Every structure is written in C-alpha cells, then in structure tokens.
Amino acid sequence: MAALLRSLQDSQLVARFQRRCGLFPAPEVYGQKYIVKNYFYYYLFRFSATLGQEVFYITFLPFTHWNIDPYLSRRLVLIWVLVMYVGQVAKDILKWPRPSSPPVVKLEKRVMAEFGMPSTHAMAATAISFTLLISTLDRYQYPFVLGLAMAVLFSTLVCLSRLYTGMHTVLDVLGGVLITALLIALTYPAWTFIDCLDSASPLFLVCIIVVPFVLCYNYPVSEYYSPTRADTTTILAAGTGMIIGFWINHFFHLVSKPAEPLPVLQNIPPLTTDKLVLGLAKFTVGIVLILLVRQLVQNLSLQVLFSWFKVVTRNKEARRRLEIEVPYKFVTYTSVGICATTFVPMLHKFLGLL
C-alpha cells in the first residue's frame, strides 16, 4: 500500500501524462517554458481548469439561482462552502508539496505557493456535479444514466486538468475526490434540515455571520504568504452572503418558500428562444450589478481599514495583513452574496424579467 501511495504521489507520473497529451518542457529553459504539440488537449484542459476557479463559481452559482432553481442553488452553495473549507484547511495542515518541476511543466503561477493535498479543484467539481445530480433526482424527471454520465464527465475533466497543468499529483486528485464523497455521504441525511434553516430565527443570522468570520480569522498560520487564506475567506464570505440572502428572502416574504422538493416533473421545460434571451438578460443584469457592488464595497472597506490601521493606500503588502485581508474580503464577498440572492432578483422583478 505504501508503495502504491508513493507511486501516485510521484511527479514522474504527472510528467508522463503531460507528455502523452502533447505537453513538453522547452529544452532551453527546462521546467519553465513549454512546447505544445497537441492543442486539442491543451485548450480542453485549460478550459476544464477554469471550471474549478472563481470565474466559474461567480457565474454558475448565481446563474443557477436566477435561471434554473433557487432550491438547487441553496444546496450547491452549502455543500460547495463546506467542501472547499475542508479542502483549503487540509492543504495548510498537511503541507504536502505540489509536483516538482522539473520534470513536471507547471502552467499556473498564482496557486504555485499553495500546497497540493488535496486538490480543491477536484473537490469542488465533484461536489457541484454530484450534489446537482442528487438534488435533481426527486425534483425533475430525466434519464439517470445521462445525469450520471454528465456528472462523471464534468468532474473527470476538471480532475485531469489538474494533472495536465502540473498543479497536482494523482494522489492529490484522488484524495480530493474521496474526501468529497465522504463529506457528501455524511451530510446528505441533513440536507433537508439544513435547507430549512433559512426560516430560522434572527439568532441563526447572527451565527451564520460570526462563525465563518471567526473561522477565517483563525485560519491555520503558514510560514510564508500564500493565497489560500484569502481564497478561503472569499469562499466562506460568498457562501455567508448567499445564505443571508436566502434568509432575508424568506423572513421578509420576498419569495415564496420552496423548502420541500417539488413533485417529479414529467419533463424538464424546453429551452426556447424566448427563455434563452430572457435568461441571458437576467444573467447580464445580475453580473453587472454584482461587479459594481464588489468594486464599490471593496474600495470602501479598504479605505476604512487603511485609515483605521494608518496604512498607505494601495499598499499591496498591507492588503495581505490578517487584520486587513480577512475583514475586507469578508465584507466584500458577503455583500456580493447578498446582492446575488436578494437584490438582483428584486431588480429582475422591477425590470419585468421574472
């Protein structure tokens, strides 16, 4: 067993996979630049890698809420936040290095300072695809085999992209998938109960703000700076904001409560031209408002914190300090989450897009 684990953690295995897919290090600066001999795999896996990044979450999760089903978006947000927090903390506790370069070619620079085990891309992709599959089984009628195939395809592409980009070993990816499967299995019996908490008392609202902020502020300390704490704060804050938005929607009766699964539908509503145009309009309006809120709140929160701690404005290193990074990111992305779940639907209603 130990020999198997060592082989799965071996960087040579990742390097062989890259070469099979047509990705080679350039001889003149080995391990830094690369040569692509198969552009199909290159673009496929580079695109697949984005399906586990912030740009996907900030678009897919709100899109699900605005255009598909708020019931599904609530479950996706809850499981996504849980899985990502566990994965991020596990990285900084285990401190397993990423694949060595050489022999591996590394295509992403931002996350190179992070540790490798487990792969949070693999965790997020597995969590989202299979939570979506499980949550739609008693809500919509469609071929189960088709849904399972799509979930497996989505998660597999993201997992393979982490090997192709040289960011993880096979063991990192498998570890992420297995941890996610365990978390889904353990939490599944409580999904319905957790989903009903948005109708709880205002005390629930206090807890959902305080607990994530404390978790962010007490994130495991690293010997050197990496974006892991910032990314974790962003994830927890966005999830907190969306859950607050769900609570506001129910408490103030802004939307009807869809806590119980709907009866099984005979068919998923067909995608017509009118629905496509309406969906794109809602998505565009929502994303524009989210980006505006994000920029406004980020600037204001940084100005307040810089003034409070007497720090030079636009000091990049100062933004990484615990007492500045955590509060400004938490406030910014909590606002984004509330905006996405409460104010954007209100704007849609005002513009006649509902």
Q: What is the DSSP secondary-structure string of 131-159?
A: HHHHHHTTTB---HHHHHHHHHHHHHHHH
> Averaged over 117-142, what is the pLDDT?
87
* pLDDT confidence band for 330 (50 / 70 / 90): very high
Q: Is the pLDDT of residue 213 over 90?
A: no
Residue 3 within a domain: no
Residue 1 within a domain: no
pLDDT for the residue 259: 46
Residue 4 within a domain: no
Residue 244 within a domain: yes
How many folded domains does the chain comprise?
1
Q: Is the CB of residue 186 less than 8 Å from the CB of residue 40?
A: no
Kindly report, residue by residue over 56-74, the tens digit of the pLDDT.
777 888 888 888 888 888 8
Distant-in-sequence, close-in-space partners of 151: CB < 8 Å, separation ≥ 6: 129, 130, 132, 133
Residue 180 within a domain: yes
- Is residue 253 part of the annotated active site? The answer reads no
**Choice among 121, 250, 253, 348 that is catalytic:** 121
Residue 71 within a domain: yes
pLDDT for the residue 263: 56
Give CA–CA dist 272/118, Å, rounded. Answer: 41
Kindly report, residue by residue over 292-329, the tens digit of the pLDDT.
999 999 989 888 888 887 777 666 777 778 788 888 89
> Averaged over 140-148, what is the pLDDT?
86
Q: 3-state secondary structure string, 67-125?
A: HHCHHHHHHHHHHHHHHHHHHHHHHHHHCCCCCCCCCCCCCCCHHHHCCCCCCHHHHHH
Q: Is the pLDDT of residue 334 over 70?
A: yes
Kindly report, residue by residue over 132-143, the tens digit of the pLDDT.
998 888 788 888
Residue 162 within a domain: yes
Q: Which amino acid does the sequence have at 65? A: H
* pLDDT confidence band for 8 (50 / 70 / 90): low
- Is residue 65 part of the annotated active site? The answer reads no
Q: Which domain range does residue 146 map to? A: 9-350
| Residues 71, 76, 80: CA angle, nearest 5 degrees | 155
Q: Would you tell me how many other CB atoms lie within 10 Å of the CB of residue 177?
A: 21
Strand partners, 265: 140
Residue 30 within a domain: yes
Q: Minimum mean pLDDT among 83-92, 106-115, 139-148, 188-197: which range? A: 106-115
**Choice among 168, 250, 253, 348 that is catalytic:** 168
pLDDT for the residue 31: 46
Q: Is the pLDDT of residue 260 over 60?
A: no
